[in-house]
Amino acid sequence: MCGITGWVDWTLDLRDRGPVITAMTRTQAPRGPDDEGTWLSRHAALGHRRLAVIDIEGGRQPMLRPGPDGRPVVITFSGEIYNFAELRAELRAAGRSFGTRSDTEVLLAAYLEWGEDLVARLNGMYAFAIWDEREQRLLLVRDRLGIKPLYYARLGGGIVFGSEPKALLAHPEMNAEVDLEGLAELLAVPRARTPGHAVYRGMREVKPGRLVVADASGVRERRYWQVEARPHTGDFRATTEEVRSLLEDIVERQIVADVPVGTLLSGGIDSSAITALAAGRFAGELTSYSVSVPAPARPGSDLWRPSPDEPYAQLVAERLGIKHSVVQVGTDGLVEDIELGLRARDLPGWGDLDISMHHLFRGVREDCTVALSGESADEMFGGYTWQTDERYVGHTSFPWMYGRRQPEVLLREEVRRAIRPEEYEADRYRDALAEVPRLAGEDPGARRRREVFHLGLTRWLGALLDRKDRMSMAVGLEVRVPFADHRLAEYLFNVPADLKTGRGAEGGGMEKALLRRACADLLPEEIVDRPKSAYPASRDPGYVETLKGLVLERAGDPNAPLFDVLDREKVRAAVTSGLDALPGPITARTSAIGLSYLLELDRWLSRVRVVA
């Protein structure tokens, strides 16, 4: 895992622009604390910050290999290729030689052997750029599910790119601006922003499963992967066996590292399954980690978290014979570190959910460089209410928006008229539905369930993966997500919803029954049967009151940039009305997320220019 950046311009000589690419590269220092490198030619400048995980000595970047005519092909790469050993063997059989043990060199050799078609052969999480000096062409590639980020923008006679917006914005000719469409992304569809939309004006994000080719004639994007609709013929037992087989292979690939490895363990079925599979295959010492935040005023009063994590996580750790560590985050830390989440994301985020995750990852990083996470299991196996409750499933927009207010309700009227949030949401929903692969002859109910899965895969999941990437890389920790393997997504896209819950079968109709049965032999019964408990959000009344005071303080400041966009009186009324869930970027049964979103939005707007 690393930070990458670059600047290509076919009209300029960039060989004397070293200070620019160095400045862009150094914005990515937290992503790569172990090493820094840059490479310049006449029309291309690449930068890299390295987090050393595989081949510590031999994997330095940018890495180059000579092409057939002697001119170099150069790569800057972030991520992990989990099937690099098989690819290396295939490439050796084709006559390619290697001087390192790194997966980066395998990518370079694969490009020289197969060109752009290398993407079809990759299993992993990755974002990389390849500059081909022979063709004077830039290739940008992002993994199938969007685990690793990659942004780009047209600039002058070329293009700039980077792992995060801050890398692009470090270029002296890039401006931190947001237009009305960017505001609509933040306020009308904040729970799941549009793929490819980077919010900043003129900036794009490479979409998951896409590659971008840029040369002197222009910039072109091509899709290289999407799930396909096929009939599913296996029963519950056969489907369970296939899921278990896939998970065993996925985890075995993802525990490979030349550095210490840990797991994130909440005691829920998702993280417990990954931890158990890893513990059975990892040769070294494995430690698991969880986070604890200020609890509700009354035990059991948080409907999203009917039980605390720690006893269950400890139960799993004891069963597996591994060490477990709990990272404690207090209310003071949640308030004082609001800036951490904003700085990591370059955009307003999820308040204490970001901050506590940042603290968790910082604690893990003290012992480990790599951690495996249970993220993405809910999306794959049906763990959310909006995937199972017919009221949500039947909603005429994104199912997670059923019965929920968006931050756009707080807009100033003139901004609302310009943004047209209801129309914007409807357009984005229509676009999302148009992408869903169909199966001929499928009944309306099954077709809708397929749509809901695809919406979660392409719109909801990205927000969680983005949060995970930004908070982990802000402390130089590589977090791997086995449930986001594309082979699992391809398989589960075609598994009927009733099979995922085990309705009418031995799964008993419980959410994620398919996953529970697939891993039941690895875990205590209490874990297999434990109901879903969401990631901990702070319910401490003192924390909420502190945030209210900070927002009301901004409401009393006539120069607060927040109110160039939002209506001051609407915000003040919402904060003082006693609503349990102030509109925020995600669905949450606490006003803290909405309050912190207002504070982060205010700070962010002070750093960008809003343009019509």
pTM: 0.96
On whether residue 427 sits in a domain, the answer given is: no
Q: How far apart are CA 455 and CA 429, in angstroms?
A: 9
Over residues 535-544, the mean pLDDT reads 80
pLDDT at 44 over 50: yes
Does 2 qualify as catalytic in the annotation?
Answer: yes
Please list, residue by residue across 489-509, b when 16 or more beta carbons sit within 10 angstroms of its beta carbon and e when fewer do. Answer: bbbbbbbebbbbbbeebebee
- Under DSSP, the state recorded for 484 is G
pLDDT digits (tens, 9 = 90+) for 513-534: 999 999 999 999 999 999 888 7
Strand 2-9 versus strand 158-162 pairing type: antiparallel
| N- to C-terminal Cα separation, the chain | 37
Six-digit token pair at 225?
A: 């992967």
On whether residue 128 sits in a domain, the answer given is: yes
Q: Are 311 and 556 in contact (CB under 8 A)?
A: no
Residues 577 and 602 in one domain: yes
Q: How many CA atoms lie within 13 A of 606 on its CB side?
A: 9
pLDDT digits (tens, 9 = 90+) for 159-174: 999 999 999 999 999 9
Cα torsion angle, 420, 424, 425, 426, sign? positive
Over residues 423-451, the mean pLDDT reads 96
Tokens 């979103």 sit at which residue?
597
Residues 291 and 243 in one domain: yes
On whether residue 79 sits in a domain, the answer given is: yes
**What is the reported pLDDT for 299?**
47
For 42, the enclosing helix (H) or strand (E) is none
On whether residue 185 sits in a domain, the answer given is: yes
Residues 198 and 91 in one domain: yes
**What is the reported pLDDT for 503?**
72
**What is the reported pLDDT for 198?**
97
On whether residue 452 sits in a domain, the answer given is: no
pLDDT digits (tens, 9 = 90+) for 555-573: 999 999 999 999 999 999 9
Q: How far apart are CA 62 and CA 60, in angstroms?
A: 7
The per-residue pLDDT of the chain, averaged, comes to 93
Residues 39 and 117 in one domain: yes
Q: How far apart are CA 50 and CA 36, in angstroms?
A: 6
On whether residue 408 sits in a domain, the answer given is: no
Over residues 131-138, the mean pLDDT reads 97
**What is the reported pLDDT for 580?**
61
Residues 337 and 219 in one domain: no
Domain that includes residue 193, residue range: 2-223
Which one is catalytic: 2, 274, 317, 505? 2
pLDDT at 301 over 50: no
Over residues 297-307, the mean pLDDT reads 56
**What is the reported pLDDT for 506?**
61
Output 449-455 pairs: Cβ under 8 A, ≥24 positions apart. Answer: 449/393, 449/496, 449/497, 450/229, 450/493, 452/386, 452/387, 452/393, 452/399, 453/382, 453/387, 453/492, 453/493, 453/497, 454/227, 454/493, 455/398, 455/399
Residues 218 and 283 in one domain: no
Domain boundary among 506, 528, 550: 528
- Under DSSP, the state recorded for 294 is P
Does a cis peptide bond (omega within 30 degrees of 0) precede residue 62? yes
Residues 513 and 590 in one domain: no
Residues 93 and 16 in one domain: yes
Which residues lie closer than 8 Å to 440 by C-beta, 6 or more apart?
A: none
CA 469 to chain centre: 5
Confidence bin at 535 (pLDDT 50/70/90): confident
Query: Which range (34-48, 57-71, 227-241, 458-472) has the least confidence?
Result: 57-71
Higher pLDDT, 419 or 54: 419
Residues 191 and 317 in one domain: no
pLDDT at 305 over 70: no
Domain boundary among 500, 528, 556: 528
Domain boundary among 196, 223, 250: 223
pLDDT digits (tens, 9 = 90+) for 71-104: 999 999 999 999 999 999 999 999 999 999 999 9
- Under DSSP, the state recorded for 197 is B
Confidence bin at 510 (pLDDT 50/70/90): confident
**What is the reported pLDDT for 300?**
47
Looking at the chain, how many residues does it have?
Answer: 612
On whether residue 534 sits in a domain, the answer given is: no
On whether residue 402 sits in a domain, the answer given is: no
Q: Give the CATH number for residue 172.
A: 3.60.20.10
Residues 486 and 579 in one domain: no
Dump the DSSP string for 99-155: SSS-HHHHHHHHHHHHGGGGGGG--EEEEEEEEETTTTEEEEEE-TT--S--EEEEE
Number of domains in the chain: 3
For 526, the enclosing helix (H) or strand (E) is helix 525-528
Q: Provide the percentage of residues in the chain whose pLDDT is more than 70.
A: 96
**What is the reported pLDDT for 304?**
60
Q: Are 594 and 581 in contact (CB under 8 A)?
A: yes
Residues 486 and 555 in one domain: no
Residues 481 and 586 in one domain: no
